[in-house]
């Protein structure tokens, strides 16, 4: 057995063990003979040490200082070790003793090590072609996956299906949906119930998508519906009259082609006015018409600027009551389209009038953006306006000592960094107790 150690040893221990010390060349010694000296000890009856075996230097490790009954031999300048090779050998024997005391499980491994040369194992196989493979195409990072591409139009079809039989399967099991002024739906069955409350009383429903904006995880669809009110609908007895509703839906989509969430918005009061049951201020507002052009689809582009920032700046100015900063975000010929006016409001003067009216109606106005996306030259922004009502808000009368919150979805066309056109979707009826 071959033992390789670093250090110095006691010659008496070597002679007692029946070992013959073998010194290494002087070149291995440290400067002035005081460096680390490697020595090999050949136990009688064992083969001499081999030079490149796997256990070479196995015991040349730092071992913990252990109490083995007698202090280790220490050399001093006054009494140096008389025979350095023999000292190195005895140090090796003591190292084994300390090793056996500190880690008895390790000693058999050391004793069992072979001094034979072991061939280097072959290198692991490498599939170099793997580094040249093209990853699967998951679609553009800013656009919908293949199964999501038609979800907005599928949603339109599902809303027109009898008893909404196609709507439930379009949503995932934990799908959600909301409408301003109603309780949110939190599962697939709730989604169907919510849409049934909104549209179930309207027969011969026909939904047409006018414009669709798509990102990787959200689709906004601007839609118009035609139908007949043959049943009681949101507090209005059956009139058997035709009805037309224009609205917007924000759809959060999954890669598997299902809808995770749907935020639906339309003006209930404007729709009731068409049935003769709405606010008198809305009498005479014309019914929306179905789009005659093919659906316009706009996909988000990674190179497009963040147009939502312009709208955020305007809303921040509205909240902080900085009229000049608000007007500065508007083009000189800006247009505002709402569902409660036959014609759009045009020009900056119309926007500053709206700015002043909001601050006269709501104290401590808070404008909060919930969601926003850019697509083409458009920004779609979902936000809320909240505060204490201190005056009428449009046709909604003053309700004293009441904090109100109004949800809006604006489709803003941005040209040269200014807001050129606004299509606003809201439900002012949510401000009126008890709700829609």
For residues 350 and 338, the answer to whether their CB atoms sit within 8 Å is no
Q: 269-297: per-residue pLDDT in tens?
A: 999 999 999 999 999 899 999 999 999 99
Q: How far is CA 185 from the centre of its chain?
A: 23
Rg (CA), the chain: 42
CATH of the domain spanning 304-436, picked from 3.30.360.10, 2.130.10.10, 3.10.450.50, 3.30.590.10: 3.10.450.50
Q: What whole-number distance in Å separates Cα of residue 427 and Cα of residue 408?
A: 8
Residue of 151, 371, 369 lying closest to 260 (CA atoms): 151
Top-confidence residue, 18 or 91: 91
Residue of 54, 43, 50 lying closest to 92 (CA atoms): 43
pTM, two decimal places: 0.68
pLDDT interval class at 240 (50, 70, 90): very high
- The residue length of the chain stands at 436
**Average pLDDT for residues 237-250, to the nearest whole number?**
97
What is the CATH number that goes with domain 141-300?
3.10.450.50
The reported pLDDT for the residue numbered 427 is 97
**Average pLDDT for residues 373-402, to the nearest whole number?**
95
Residue for token pair 């316009």: 296
Give the SS3 label for residue 409.
Answer: strand
The reported pLDDT for the residue numbered 136 is 39
Q: What whole-number distance in Å separates Cα of residue 345 and Cα of residue 313?
A: 21
Q: 222-239: per-residue pLDDT in tens?
A: 999 999 999 999 999 999
For residues 86 and 21, the answer to whether their CB atoms sit within 8 Å is yes
Kindly report, as residue ranges, where domains of CATH 3.10.450.50 are found in the chain. Answer: 141-300, 304-436
**Average pLDDT for residues 158-168, to the nearest whole number?**
96
Q: What whole-number distance in Å separates Cα of residue 237 and Cα of residue 199?
A: 14
């Amino acid at each position: 057995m071959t033992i390789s150690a670093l250090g110095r040893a006691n010659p008496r221990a070597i002679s007692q063990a029946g070992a013959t010390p073998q010194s290494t060349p002087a070149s291995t010694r440290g400067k002035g003979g005081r460096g680390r000296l490697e020595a090999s000890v050949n136990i009688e009856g064992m083969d001499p040490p081999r030079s490149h075996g796997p256990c070479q230097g196995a015991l040349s490790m730092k071992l913990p200082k252990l109490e083995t009954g007698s202090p280790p031999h220490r050399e001093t300048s006054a009494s140096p070790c008389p025979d350095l090779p023999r000292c190195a050998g005895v140090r090796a024997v003591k190292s084994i003793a300390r090793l056996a005391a500190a880690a008895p499980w390790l000693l058999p491994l050391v004793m069992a090590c072979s001094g034979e040369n072991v061939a280097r194992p072959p290198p692991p196989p490498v599939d170099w072609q793997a580094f040249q493979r093209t990853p699967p195409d998951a679609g553009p990072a800013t656009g919908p996956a293949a199964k999501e591409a038609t979800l907005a139009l599928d949603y339109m079809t599902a809303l027109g299906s009898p008893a909404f039989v196609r709507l439930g399967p379009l949503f995932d099991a934990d799908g959600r949906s909301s409408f301003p002024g109603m309780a949110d739906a939190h599962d697939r069955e709730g989604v169907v119930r919510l849409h049934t409350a909104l549209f179930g009383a309207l027969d011969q429903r026909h939904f047409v998508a006018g414009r669709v904006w798509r990102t990787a995880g959200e689709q906004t669809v601007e839609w118009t519906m035609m139908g007949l009110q043959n049943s009681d609908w949101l507090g209005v007895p059956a009139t058997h009259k035709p009805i037309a509703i224009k609205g917007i839906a924000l759809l959060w989509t999954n890669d598997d082609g299902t809808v995770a969430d749907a935020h639906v918005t339309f003006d209930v009061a404007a729709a009731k006015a068409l049935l003769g049951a709405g606010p008198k201020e809305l009498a005479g507002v014309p019914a929306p018409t179905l789009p005659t052009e093919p659906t316009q689809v706009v996909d988000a582009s990674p190179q497009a600027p963040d147009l939502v920032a312009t709208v955020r700046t305007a809303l921040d100015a509205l909240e902080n009551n900085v009229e000049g900063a608000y007007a500065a975000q508007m083009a000189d010929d800006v247009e505002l389209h709402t569902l409660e006016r036959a014609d759009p409001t045009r020009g900056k003067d119309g926007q500053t009038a709206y700015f002043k009216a909001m601050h006269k109606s709501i104290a401590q106005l808070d404008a909060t953006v919930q969601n926003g996306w850019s697509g083409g030259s458009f920004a779609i922004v979902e936000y809320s306006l909240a505060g204490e009502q201190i005056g009428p808000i449009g046709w909604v009368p003053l309700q004293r000592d009441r904090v109100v919150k109004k949800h809006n979805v604006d489709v803003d066309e941005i040209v040269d960094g200014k807001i050129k056109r606004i299509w606003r979707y809201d439900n002012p009826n949510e401000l009126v107790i008890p709700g829609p």
